[in-house]
Amino acid sequence: MQYIFTLMPRTAASALLLATTLWLPVNAAQAAPLDWSGELSSRLDYRLPEAERGWAQQKLKLKFSLGQQLDSGASWTAVGRGYIDPYYRQARFAGTDAHELSDDLWLHELYWRDGSDSWSWTLGKQQVTWGEADYFRVLDVVNPQDLSDYLLSYVEEFNQARHSLWMANIEWSGERWTQQWLWIPDFAATTLPADGSDFASTGIHAFQQLRDQADVREPGHALRDHSFGWRGSYSGDAIDVSLYGYYGWNPDPLLQLDSQGLHERYARRQVIGSSFSRAIDAWVVRGDAGLYLNEAVADSDGVLHLGDLAKALLALDYNGASYSLSLQALWGDGLSKPDWQSKQRMLSLYGEKRLHNDDLVLSNLAIVDLAGHSGLNEVQASYRLGGDVKVAVGSDLFWGDQALFSGYRNQNRVYIKGSYYW
């Protein structure tokens, strides 16, 4: 098994964050006992495509959290993840990037948290979630995506579909107002489906082949290459509102062709936006709006284009005594209307019914790409056995063969999953 511990920082600044994160808890006296929790799960997927039937994912996953609360009020937390998937050990995956998906173990988060009545600071490898959207990223731009299992990662758990980054996260809280400042010396690129894996469509395969020939130019190590973010929030009696500003990097790789050859490069990302949330009895209305300034996109000829992009999301939630509903609508478009900027018209509808003291949950999630006439639908029934064991059965069905879901129609599957919590 190949163990990958992502502990090595990219810069001297992130090395300082790492040293502080590790040194403080080790040297703290009179700490509380260690807080240990985790989840061990096993999921078996049986594929029902048009071309080929058979077992797909056979994944055994481990997630654990180790932390400690100190008498001073500070705390430290470490989160690890790992998996074993014999499916990708098959001979037909040998010699491809997909073979590396057979097993992995890594440190997902490691951070130190301290503060006072109005101030708090979190140093280390962590995730910061902005905005009100669930499945669509409007303002959730701080941490890059992990799309190894495509959208199924987001369907299963949001946190596992993001890469954690080394950063300093400082927050101030007043009676009504809060502010947050982010300093991020770290960088990680979006993880696309591995070439040769189930979710590597024809388009992704062609893109990965070109990346193998490209000269990689990632952001440098100097202070001018770091990322910064700010959020200001107001919590009122009737509505919660937040403003955001982000100056960082677009983690999606861009392939640029010039006289010196093919280059994989990354462009700066500048985002300003706002979000709101309003509760009315059992209903909640929430939304995001974001403006991406000078967003870079590479066309099929390897030419980079810059243009402003606007995104907006509106969501309506209902939480009843035994059932819940959530509807989200996403709109996105280039303000200058160039041909290389594609429109985003997305919908998601989630509903669940809770039975037998909430131990049995029946749910359905539909994600629809209106512009591409395609989508994903997941039906699931889960049952909790006592407080430690949960079993689930369900299906993930892709439909359409364009745009966002292009190439995934043959990945329709049914699955069974068991989880043990401690």
Q: Which of 198-212, 222-236, 280-294 has the lowest average pLDDT? A: 198-212
- Asked whether 84 and 1 are in contact (CB, 8 A), the reply is yes
Buried-exposed string 353-379: b where 16+ CB fall within 10 A, e elsewhere: ebeeeeeebbbebbbbbbbbebbbbbe
What proportion of the chain, given as a percentage, has pLDDT over 90?
62
Q: Which class is 12-421 in CATH?
A: mainly beta
What are 88-135's pLDDT values in tens digits?
999 989 888 899 999 999 999 999 999 988 999 999 999 999 999 998
β-strand 344-355 against 215-217: which pairing, if any? Answer: unpaired
What gap in Å lies between CA 190 and CA 182, rounded to an integer? 20
Q: What is the pLDDT of residue 338?
A: 65
Question: Beta-carbon neighbour count of residue 256 at 10 Å?
Answer: 19
Nearest to 382, CA basis, from 158, 156, 48, 136: 156
Between 18 and 209, residue with greater pLDDT: 209
Q: What is the pLDDT of residue 127?
A: 96
What are 379-397's pLDDT values in tens digits?
999 999 988 999 999 999 9
What gap in Å lies between CA 150 and CA 152, rounded to an integer? 6
Q: What is the pLDDT of residue 37?
A: 96
Q: What is the helix, strand, coil percentage profile of the chain, to 5?
A: 15, 55, 35
User: If pLDDT is split at 50, 70 and 90, which confidence band does 304 have?
Assistant: confident
Question: Beta-carbon neighbour count of residue 92 at 10 Å?
Answer: 10
What gap in Å lies between CA 274 and CA 291, rounded to an integer? 9
Could you identify the residue written with the tokens 């299906």? Answer: 395
Residue 175, CA distances (Å) to 117, 234, 257 in order: 11, 9, 53
Nearest to 375, CA basis, from 350, 403, 400: 400
Per-chain mean pLDDT for the chain:
88
Between 10 and 393, residue with greater pLDDT: 393
- Asked whether 390 and 419 are in contact (CB, 8 A), the reply is yes
Q: What is the pLDDT of residue 155?
A: 82
Q: Which of 6-20, 69-83, 297-311 has the lowest average pLDDT? A: 6-20
User: If pLDDT is split at 50, 70 and 90, which confidence band does 351 have?
Assistant: very high
Q: What are phi and psi of 208, to 5 degrees?
A: -65, -35
Q: What are phi and psi of 124, to 5 degrees?
A: 135, -165
What gap in Å lies between CA 268 and CA 218, rounded to an integer? 11
Any residues with CB less than 8 A from the CB of 106 and at least 6 apart, and which? Answer: 3, 4, 5, 6, 80, 81, 82
Q: Is the pLDDT of residue 5 over 50?
A: no
What proportion of the chain, given as a percentage, has pLDDT over 70?
90
What gap in Å lies between CA 28 and CA 30, rounded to an integer? 7
Residues 45, 49, 52, 58, Cα dihedral to 10°: -10
β-strand 119-126 against 165-173: which pairing, if any? Answer: antiparallel
Q: Which of 7-21, 44-58, 380-394, 404-418 has the lowest average pLDDT? A: 7-21
Q: Is the pLDDT of residue 1 over 70?
A: no
What is this structure's pTM?
Answer: 0.89
